[in-house]
Amino acid sequence: MSDDHDLERRAFLLASLATAGASAALAANGGAALAQQTPQPASVGGSDFTGDVIDGRRVVRGLDVNDLEPGRHQLYFEGVQTVTGQHLYVSVTVVRGALPGKRILLTSGVHGDEMSSIRAVQLVVDQLDPAEMAGTVTAVFDISGPALDGMARRWPNTGRGVDLIDMNRVWPGDENAPEAPRRHAGLLFNRLLRPNADLAIDFHTVSTGMDGTAFHFADMTQPEVAEAAMLFPVDQIFADTEPYAGTLMNELVAVGIPALTPELGKPRVLDHAMIARFVEGTMNVLKHHRVVPGPIGRTGHDANVFVARHGAPIISTHGGLVELQVELREKVAVGQVVAVQYDAFGDRVAEYLSPVAGEIMARRTDATAEPGTPLMLILFDGDGPDEEEAFPE
Ligand SMILES: [Zn+2]
């Protein structure tokens, strides 16, 4: 028995050494290729096909779209493991054009209750014909699978009892983080998203309990971001992304990749009119960069877009039923009553006034509010309170 055991142990050690050597060799190759761009950990970037195939789709734990043949590819990206020891597999479609060109990244499903954003990306991908494309579109549909399973904004992480993790506050992630969602973000950011993007669009809607106009979060001081944002026929652009640390958009911009966050109205449903506007805008971006041929459609100029740098939140001070007095995109004046609130007896307990002159960007759809709940966000220009993170995008 002891001889057999020793043999097994020796075989295991040899196998481990061989694997370690192979990993080191792969890491060295990946590192050399990436050194020309930006300094990164040696294990980051490059294609790594696991050899697994799930439902006919190849599994990757790293992807360089340049390794794929021109054409349409459906892949699964191997994310973090779940408590069963299985991996989360993220659905990825790559459409690689016959000719070289810009690499555009389209992401959705960072929040699990934002369905119109996923559908918009699907509809863009459906329109693409690789034979007439110059460049590559990489589309990612379900970044936060556990949140999607629950039709919820946040990922229910079980590391220390249930924590609800907002995936759009943990980018760029960390492959060695002490919680799975942050590791998942790190794997995606290092091995799929960052290495394949010259320009990125991260699709969202507003949060459950709210509705919103067709708008973007976009840092309009970045020329390529501003250019892309204006190619969408949106109502509004919220041009201050600074308070939003850890968003995918901001962390991509931080590593030099122009990125913006479209917001497709209400969560949980497919809003077809809203989806159509953002599909048109995304196709405009692809056409502008000559990834696909064709004339530019309606843009922000056609939609008379309102661009402003500030968002004033109206936060409830009481609990009770809330009656909103304003509609989306309505212009409001300083001191205008925008909402009233009633307690359980029907007595009026609060009246909310706009602190600014601006335009309604998002408003609550749930009729109740606890103290501290955002009831609406008013987009405005000029001087105003220097807000913290005002709004769950
Ligand atoms: Zn979102």
pLDDT in tens, 42-67: 456 789 999 999 999 999 999 999 99
pLDDT tens for each residue of 345-375: 999 999 999 999 999 999 999 999 999 999 9
| Cα radius of gyration rounded to whole Å, the chain | 23
Asked if pLDDT for residue 2 goes beyond 70, the answer is: no
| Confidence check: pLDDT of 201 > 80 | yes
60 CA from centroid of ligand 1 (Å) = 26
> Measured between alpha carbons, how far is 245 from 3 in angstroms, rounded to an integer?
57
Q: How confident is the model at residue 41 (pLDDT cuts 50, 70, 90)?
A: very low
- Rounded distance from Cα 52 to ligand 1 centre (Å): 31
Give the mean model confidence (pLDDT) for residues 186-213.
98
- How far is residue 187's CA from residue 173's CA, in Å, rounded to a whole number? 8
Find the 306 Cα to ligand 1 centroid distance in Å: 21
CA 111 to ligand 1 center in whole angstroms: 5
Confidence of residue 4 (pLDDT cuts 50, 70, 90): very low
Q: HEC string of 79-126?
A: EEECCCCCEEEEEEEEEECCEEEEEEEEECCCCCCCHHHHHHHHHHHH
pLDDT for 392 equals 67
Tell me how far CA of residue 26 lies from CA of 21, 51, 61, 105, 261, in angstroms: 9, 15, 13, 25, 34
Q: What is the DSSP letter of 191?
A: I
Mean pLDDT of 315-323: 97
Q: What tokens appear for 119 in the block?
A: 């559908």
Q: What distance in angstroms lies between residue 361's CA and the mean position of ligand 1's atoms?
A: 15
Distance 247 CA to ligand 1 centre (A): 10
pTM value is 0.88
Answer whether residue 168 shows pLDDT above 80.
yes
Separation of CA 368 and ligand 1 centre (Å):
22
- Cα–Cα distance, 246 to 357 (Å, whole number): 30
Cα(393) to centroid(ligand 1), Å: 5
List Cα–Cα distances, 25 to 17, 28, 31, 66, in angstroms: 12, 5, 10, 20
Q: What is the reported pLDDT for 106?
A: 99
In sequence order, the 6+-apart residues with CB closer than 8 A to the CB of 238 are: 215, 216, 217, 218, 308, 311, 361, 379
* Span 101-129, pLDDT tens digits: 999 999 999 999 999 999 999 999 999 99
104 CA to centre of ligand 1 in angstroms: 20
Q: Is 66 helix (H, G, I), strand (E, B) or coil?
A: helix
Ligand 1 center to residue 336 CA distance, Å?
29
| More reliable by pLDDT, 35 or 80 | 80
Q: What percent of the chain is predicted at pLDDT more than 90? A: 83
What average pLDDT score do residues 69-96 get? 97
Q: How confident is the model at residue 35 (pLDDT cuts 50, 70, 90)?
A: very low
Cβ atoms of residues 96 and 130 within 8 Å: yes
Q: What is the pLDDT of residues 228-255, one digit of tens each?
A: 999 999 999 999 888 788 999 999 999 9
CA–CA separation, 307 and 2 (whole Å): 75
Taking the CB of residue 336, how many other CB atoms lie within 10 A of it?
A: 16
What is the CA(102)–ligand 1 centre distance, in A?
26
Name the β-bridge partners of 314.
376
* Residue 77 neighbours by CB under 8 Å, 6+ apart: 59, 60, 61, 63, 89, 90, 92, 140, 187, 188, 191, 192
Q: Residue 149 pLDDT > 60, yes or no?
A: yes
What distance in angstroms lies between residue 305's CA and the mean position of ligand 1's atoms? 21
Q: In the prediction, which pLDDT does 28 show?
A: 40
Burial category of 35 from C-beta neighbours within 10 Å (exposed 0-12, middle 13-18, buried 19 and up): exposed
Higher pLDDT pick, 242 / 185: 185
Cα separation, 341 vs 372, in Å, equals: 13
Residue 393: pLDDT band with limits 50, 70, 90? confident
**In angstroms, what is the span from residue 114 Cα to ligand 1's centroid?**
6
Instruction: Answer whether residue 26 shows pLDDT above 60.
Output: no
How much is the mean pLDDT over the chain? 90
